Amino acid sequence: MAIMITVLHEIENKELMLDEIKRILKPKGKLMIIEFHKRKTPMGPPVDHRISEEYVEEIGNSKGLITFDKFSLGENYYSVVFELAPN
């Protein structure tokens, strides 16, 4: 499993980063992305610097990652878990 915690919103070329993670995952391997909710919360970057759960899911799916699970982690964070399709 690869885990990215409050990193993806900082990366300029998100698609390239997901390509690299996909390259190193084993078939059926998991990628967990944790990000700040895209709304004002007690902590985290400005709202306009955050990325939505829907956007994370959209770019992951566009790279061939299958949404495995998604959930809220309290008032500040959410998680999207992807699975790499078996070869």
Task: Tell me the per-residue pLDDT of 15-71, one tens digit each, with 9 for 90 and over.
Answer: 999 999 999 999 999 999 999 999 999 999 999 999 999 999 999 999 999 999 999
DSSP state of 1: -
Whole-number pLDDT of residue 86: 82
Indicate the pLDDT class of residue 84, thresholds 50, 70 and 90: very high
Question: pLDDT at residue 87 above 80?
Answer: no
pLDDT of residue 85: 87
Full domain range(s) for residue 10? 2-84
Domains held by the chain: number: 1
- CATH classification of the domain holding 59: 3.40.50.150
35 SS3 class: strand
Four-point Cα dihedral 28, 24, 14, 59, nearest 10: -20
- Give CA–CA dist 59/79, Å, rounded: 14
Q: What is the mean pLDDT of residues 2-26?
A: 97
